[in-house]
């Protein structure tokens, strides 16, 4: 017996709203929003993971990585102190999982969830925090003293 008067108030687990921050490079905002939406819509995990890898690829270039490949840029950014050791480890995991996702169409939902969360953290640390620090930094002391 079907009940057409059912109203769904909430589902569990609750999905997070896709985010895109204005400090992120423009080229990655929409693709990352799409990856987040795909996750909430239970789309193919390998596509989500591959999308996250592509976002990371562009982000490392925008952060000043000059190496020809993603592995080299991750290493270069870590050596320069632009990303932390922990971010480097996760970025390498995403790089490898992304390769499997793109070339072998392999990946699972739990992996996709973890890597979307990693990209959120990566973009926050790499772009949002530096912008907030620049905004909140005190004025240059030399300009106050007239030197």
Percentage, residues of the chain above pLDDT 90: 80
pLDDT at 59: 98
d(CA 28, CA 20): 9
Helix (H) or strand (E) holding 111: helix 109-123
Across 82-94, average pLDDT = 96
Q: What angle do CA 96, 100, 106 make, to 5 degrees?
A: 135
- If pLDDT is split at 50, 70 and 90, which confidence band does 12 have? low
pLDDT over 60 at 61, yes or no: yes
pLDDT at 146: 47
The mean of the pLDDT values for the chain is 89
Residues in the chain: 147
Is the C-alpha dihedral spanning 25, 129, 113, 61 positive or negative? Answer: positive
Residue 80 carries which DSSP code? Answer: T
d(CA 86, CA 92): 10
d(CA 97, CA 7): 39
pLDDT over 70 at 144, yes or no: no
Per-residue pLDDT tens over the stretch 90-125: 999 999 999 999 999 999 999 999 999 999 999 999
């Amino acid at each position: 017996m079907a009940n057409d008067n059912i109203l769904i108030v909430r589902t569990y687990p609750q999905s997070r709203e896709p985010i895109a921050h204005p400090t992120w490079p423009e080229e990655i905002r929409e693709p990352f929003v799409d990856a987040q939406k795909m996750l909430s819509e239970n789309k193919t995990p390998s596509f989500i993971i591959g999308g996250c890898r592509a976002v990371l690829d562009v982000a490392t270039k925008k952060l000043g990585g000059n190496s020809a490949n993603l592995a080299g840029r991750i290493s270069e950014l870590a050596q320069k102190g632009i990303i932390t050791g922990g971010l480097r480890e996760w970025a390498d995991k995403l790089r490898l999982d992304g390769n499997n996702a793109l070339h072998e169409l392999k990946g699972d939902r739990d992996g996709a969830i973890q890597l979307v969360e990693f990209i959120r953290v990566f973009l926050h640390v790499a772009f949002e925090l530096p912008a907030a620090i620049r905004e909140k930094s005190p004025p240059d002391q030399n300009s106050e003293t007239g030197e």
